[in-house]
Every structure is written in C-alpha cells, then in structure tokens.
Amino acid sequence: MCHLMGSQKGTSRPIRYLGDPVLRTVCDPVTTFDADLKRLVDDMFVSMYDARGVGLAANQIGVSLRVFVYDCADDDGHRQIAHVINPVLAADGELVVDEEGCLSLPGLHFPTPRHARATVEGVDVDGRPVRVTGAGELARCLQHETGHLNGKVYVDMLSGDTRRAALRAIRAAQTWT
Ligand SMILES: [Zn+2]
C-alpha cells in the first residue's frame, strides 16, 4: 500500500452531506476486485485529503460499497494510512467520550462515546486479508467509518442533551443540501 498524501493518482469527488439517502443506506460488499475498485480507493484518498478529513467511507462520495480509507494517528501518535474493504468491526474496552466530527456534517463537532479499542478485519484492493487494531483516534476512526457503511452517522451515537443539541444544529444547517 503506497498512498501518499499529495499524490495526484486519483480524482477528487464531491462529499455527500447528511440528508443524502446514500448515507442512510447499508453499503454492499465488494465482490469484484478490479481496476475500478483501485480507482475508487485512489479517489477516496484524494477526496479525503481535499476535504481535510482523517477518514472517508465510500458512500460519502456516493458509492454504496463497503470500503473506507483513513489517515489518522494511533494512541502512540503514529500516523496510520490505509484502506479496508468489507470490514468486520470488533470494538471493546470502556466507552471514551471525545469530540467527533464528520465530513458529511461540516462544521459540527460533538462529544461522542466510542469504545477505547477497535479491530477491523477485511481485505485490501487485491483481496488480501488485512487486520487493523487501534486505540485512541484510530479506534474512534475505525468505529466511525464502519458505522457509515451500515448507514449510520456519529450523531446516532449521542443521547440526552448532546443529541438534542446535535439535532438542532443539523436542522439549522440547511445549506448542506
Ligand atoms: Zn464521517
């Protein structure tokens, strides 16, 4: 895997915002590992960097397939850059509440509970098995991106006053759609 920041290999595609049905649709498993899939992953990296994100799921650029990319730090501060196809998530450990945001809900951040550790198993663009285990920001990212592929967004994880504040802010942000 050699997706470097600043690489011009892919094409930036527009980010879909909350309100677009593709973000509420459960994505399909990838079954064809071909040049189109490689192009999708390249485009996802370029789109994520263009939008200054640390993670991106395929449905955030309108493609309903189980693929995500990320570039974020693990709990040791090491930068992790990778893609995962057909991820299966296992998250455990205590719930940690920290600020979370999403490219599909621009400008908003809310304290969101996530498990402290997460493992994702899946495959890469060539169909080879990959396994990622992380804590800290990486664990949060793996849970966030897997959620997208199941039609979820992070505000679905909120409750009480935080959830009410998030829903108010989303209603106020009419300019997205
Ligand atoms: Zn997101």
Prediction pTM value: 0.93
* 146: confidence class by pLDDT, cuts 50, 70, 90: very high
The yes-or-no verdict on residue 6 having pLDDT over 70 is no
DSSP per residue, 72-91: EE-TTS-EEEEEEEEEEEEE
Confidence band, pLDDT 50/70/90 cuts, at residue 5: low
pLDDT of residue 8: 62
CA of 17 to the centre of ligand 1 (A): 10
10 within some domain: no
109, part of any domain: yes
The catalytic residues are 145
Q: What is the residue range of 28's domain?
A: 21-172
Find the 56 Cα to ligand 1 centroid distance in Å: 6
Structural domain count, the chain: 1
Q: Is residue 16 part of a domain?
A: no
Q: 24 C-alpha vs ligand 1 centroid, how far in Å?
A: 12
**Mind listing the pLDDT tens digit for each residue in 59-90?**
999 999 999 999 999 888 999 999 999 999 99
Q: Is residue 72 situated within a structural domain?
A: yes
Q: How confident is the model at residue 51 (pLDDT cuts 50, 70, 90)?
A: very high
Q: What is the CATH number of the domain that holds 37?
A: 3.90.45.10
Residue 125 belongs to some domain of the structure: yes
Does 42 score more than 60 pLDDT? yes
Centre a 10 Å sphere on the Cβ of residue 7 and count the other Cβ atoms it contains.
Answer: 12
